[in-house]
Structure 1
Amino acid sequence: MLVLGIETSCDETAAAVVRREADGRASILSNVVRSQLDEHRAYGGVVPEIAARAHVDLLDHLVDQALREAGVRLAEVDAVAATAGPGLIGGLLVGVMTGKALAFAAGKPFLAINHLEGHALTPRLTDGIGFPYLLLLVTGGHTQLVAVHGLGRYERLGTTVDDAVGEAFDKVAKLLGLGYPGGPALERAATQGDPHRFALPRPMSGRPNCDFSFSGLKTAVRIEAERLVPLSEQDVADLCAGFQAAVVDVIRDRTRRALELFAGAIDPNVPLRLVVAGGVAANGSIRAALEELAFETGAALVAPPLRLCGDNAAMIAFAGAERLAAGETGGMETKARARWPLSDMGAAA
């Protein structure tokens, strides 16, 4: 089956066409992403109203480009899938209404897709892995450890009690004057720094649950920075390196605990798989730490290629194809929603 996917949940406008075979194998025929970094850079972060207007300006052209690159006409797709949440409501409305209009015009089903489910199912798109697996979801707005038992069957083992990890990266980068987007800038600066210079905390480490906390770590960086004002380039690099090292340690500790719980709950004959997804999964230090953890615990690590770590429409199209294959027929009555936890998802009809 062929599915056209649309993604407009934040500051990337994206459209893609994905083909799913009857045996579950999938291929990306096109995946067009237009970032809005230039539009938001002057403000140091995403401005919802500007993002929504940019989606309106860009989306029709990107859908046309995705169809042309895939070599298919709208009439040839089997369904249209669009992100309906969670995210910025203005952008979600643009994507959902465009998706519904295209589906209605073509006489095809419309599938409202949970953005987090798109990330959760990405390893099935890229690597064709089976259920179950443990998902570490690390994005600008979400940090979760989720046991993925099947399509629509998601058990949250841990989450952040305050800032998401991507949000913490961006806020620390802004505090240190590194500009926007902050995460990649902080990672680059950290390569020139000493991660041991500052004694920064490792919040939640060693706890019996799998939750995260990054607000206190962010505050600790601010206190150190204020103590050193004016900051030299080396001060900034050392703070970045120390912050990133602390984040990596926390993620390693929390994920190790989740792997212990997950391994004890699944059939011992089922391979132990750890999946990392989301924009922060592009961070090289985090990936390296997870590779070490997977080796130590005997788990197989699956990480999507960098181009599929961030927001994209290929994962939305594939999630739509998975649900269509499972018997879901979609519906025009579905509304966009700013909040839509994975735990509220259900298996396809």
Structure 2
Amino acid sequence: MRSSPSLDYDVAIVGAGPAGAACALGLRHSGLRVALLDKAQFPRDKVCGDAIPGHALKALRQLDPTFADSLWQLRPMDAVRNSKLVAPNGANLVLEWKLPSFNSPRETFDDALLNLVRTHAPATAILENTGLKDLQIDADHVRLKPLQGPEITCGLVIGCDGANSVVGRKLLPEPRLARAHHCVGVRAYFENVAEAQSGTTEFFLTRDYLAGYCWLFPVGQGRYNVGLGMLAEVVAKHKVDLKETMTRLLATHPALAGRFASARQLGPIVGFGLPLGGGRTRPVSGERFLLCGDAASLIDPLQGHGIDTAIQSGILAATQALACFDKQDFSAAHIAQYDAQVAAKIGKKLAKSYRLMRFLSTKPWLVNAAVRLAKVPGVKPWVQKAIG
């Protein structure tokens, strides 16, 4: 594998969350000089629903079974066995998940992933407190300009820097997503929530805002991640105050009213953005750069999770990086193979989820009917397959 000794690094991965850590792990045996940059110092909080899907663990297991095994030892965490879906009419459906999954605060989970990089990819230069201000693609290298410190040069940059990706904003021809392809959410932690059960995630749909949901996820040690997510165009059209709406739903939703009477809120309600996948196709790479995870808009539009697609895309990016250095070809045309892999292995499912989300978003009666129909013997597996 040919490297570029005149440059600081061969590969610079911007963002040390799940996508960036997975990419670094995918390059651990490459012999390339890899830098993993992040604007924060770990451990750090990341506003999220804290659900770690089974497909995320499956992807890590394909890299090395011990990676996934070690994450099951995290504390706090809550192993998830099933999910309870509450329809707009109050009827509910319990779905059992096939792949093992768990919930854990992102502060804990992301730090554990980065520690896997420290342990299994010790040659990787981990540069914390290194935020990216700007970058420039030159003919034979990339120049990164941190918020502080000297310029960093590399042969290939991989943007894993989240929904507000600097790499994406600077290098994509159309960096901003339309509101129809963007979700906004709020989240807070609680304890002493009545009737909440370990091992069960809960989703609550309302007639007013079907293009989104309220959630209650156990994250271990008696704590619960409680939040509300909604399509950005709905928030803008109806001028929805998400924090106020979440507080009101917890007090008035028929399936939630009274359950928070003795609960204690741990910290403020905080917001975050989720760039949804499955909408209008746009590039996720170009000359000497690739985007992964939220930076590539790979959030599932129906369920709102993205850690699995972040890890999957990070691994695909590592494979493409190896191909670039093997061929010494960093052209947009060659790197477009990565776009094709993302589209085939991730994008098709997200497109299906996006169509289903849009179809159901104005049809509360259909959601109610689906929940009712799922109680018919033999039908539930079809419903579970439809929602992923």
TM-score, with length taken from structure 2: 0.30
The structure richer in strand per residue is: 2
- TM-score, L = length of structure 1: 0.33
